[in-house]
Amino acid sequence: MGFSTLLASTLCTVLLPLLLFLAAVKLWNLYCVSGREPGCNLPLPPGTMGLPFFGETLQLVLQRRKFLQMKRRKYGFIYKTHLFGRPTVRVMGAENVRHILLGEHRLVSVQWPASVRTILGSGCLSNLHDGQHKHRKKVIMKAFSREALQHYVPGIQEEVNACLARWLRSGGSCLLVYPEVKRLMFRIAMRILLGFEPRHTDQDSEQQLVEAFEEMIRNLFSLPIDVPFSGLYRGLRARNFIHAKIEENIRAKMSRKQPAGGCKDALQLLMEHTQDNGEPLNMQELKESATELLFGGHETTASAATSLITFLGLHRDVLQKVRKELQVKGLLCSMNQDDKQLDIEVLEQLKYAGCVIKETLRLSPPVPGGFRVALKTFELNGYQIPKGWNVIYSICDTHDVADLFTNKNEFDPDRFMSPSPEDSSRFSFIPFGGGLRSCVGKEFAKILLKIFTVELARNCDWQLLNGPPTMKTGPIVYPVDNLPTKFIGFNGQI
């Protein structure tokens, strides 16, 4: 009797869990590694799937760019992996990316990882599909019309100049550029996109929101496990704090009488659209949309603006050419001269400054890629992309491998001065994505970055204290050392 009990105990505690584990591994191999769609003779892309259930998520989170570079060197432009709980195909190269971006609703559909969907919410633009997405995007696009952008220019210029004046008052002491720029872009997004005037947001509350956003964004891409102290748990807690603060501001906005005439911010348009259609005001969807606008409106532009400071600081000849263009246009002046206010027409004439921004986005795109899910099994460059698998198209790798660009590692804005054939350039340079899901605020971002470039060039000189920074992705591209820099006033001599 004792032996039978011991045997049963051994089976329950050792053999049964081992058999279950081996069965799970076998199913994992059948599902993710060796299994192909029945009737499809095409091979799966090369690559590895990592550990059962966990896949290669931990390697990606810990190594980021190093992990992705290793994968590209080993497997090429299309490879399989397993990330964030899903079998995934990662795609790069203009032709491959074109196939994915133009296959929206036919071959693929947007589907961010479960952690992103959970934290950002189902009501934000990024997670809407078909008619809902088209309708919401149309409403938001009104806030980024040419007329609206012209309306935003003075406010953006005011915020940028106030920030640069503060940097110059530091007397040449060390400033950590990346957090400084993030705070600037956050203020601009709050004011321009959500219509919150600076006087309604005190510095302590603003700093709390900035810190909460950083915590939320750090944990956007995490394992979909909501337990205390997990990445998803921390991200949701930060998101809830952000939502509470935004709801306070939305209710205050609703109680204030909006001025007649003029352009309206994106949040105001969404609120009015809901009211005009006789729908009950969905506070949760408004909070999710506002959070998404703040995320897209300040994290990505902060990354790009930091990269602009980096490249112009490392390439003084390019900075001098920007100043020469400003001088020709009569714009090389200090921030205190009121007669040199910018507008859309003036900004559009600054072709070289625009090329500097493009080259910055080519070498250091803020968003490294986008997520889709295969709606059906299809072929891509001789490989099978199985139905239900995630598809990540890579922006940074596509820029790196584009045949269109010579001397790819050099910072050379002149490469954009001559227009390239549309067919060859359309998907070789995709900092804002492409197709039906291209960035809704890309024109706003371009105007903001050009204003920042103009004001920076005509008011500041600076020195990067650590030289070229090491860049990291988490999930937005940023310098590991936060870019310590000394700023002094520009003397006007070129």
Question: Which amino acids are annotated as binding site for heme, given as ranges?
Answer: 439
Instruction: Give the full edge-to-edge strand order of the sheet including 86-91.
Output: 78-83, 86-91, 390-394, 369-374, 108-110
Running DSSP on this structure, what letter comes out for residue 337? -
> In whole angstroms, what is the distance from residue 19 CA to residue 200 CA?
62
> In whole angstroms, what is the distance from residue 31 CA to residue 51 CA?
13
Burial zone of 447 (CB within 10 Å; 0-12 exposed, 13-18 middle, 19+ buried) = buried
The residue to which tokens 């956003």 are assigned: 213
Listed residue (104, 299, 71) closest to 183, CA to CA? 299
Give the chain's count of helices (H) and strands (E): 20, 12
Dihedrals φ, ψ of 430, to 5°? -135, 55
Listed residue (253, 318, 314) closest to 286, CA to CA? 253
Running DSSP on this structure, what letter comes out for residue 55? B
Q: Which amino acid is at 230?
A: S
CA 342, 348, 351: angle at the middle one, nearest 5? 115
Contacts of 270 (CB under 8 A, 6+ apart): 136, 139, 140, 286, 289
> In whole angstroms, what is the distance from residue 244 CA to residue 248 CA?
6
Listed residue (280, 488, 476, 315) closest to 396, CA to CA? 476
Q: Which amino acid is at 35?
A: G
- Asked whether 416 and 363 are in contact (CB, 8 A), the reply is no
Q: Which amino acid is at 485?
A: T
Structure tokens at 214: 């950083």
Cα distances (Å, whole numbers) of residue 492 to 292, 295, 458? 40, 36, 7
Query: How many other C-beta atoms can be found within 10 angstroms of the C-beta atom of residue 392?
Result: 19
> In whole angstroms, what is the distance from residue 297 CA to residue 280 CA?
27
Binding-site residues sit at 439
- Asked whether 357 and 449 are in contact (CB, 8 A), the reply is yes
> In whole angstroms, what is the distance from residue 273 CA to residue 298 CA?
24
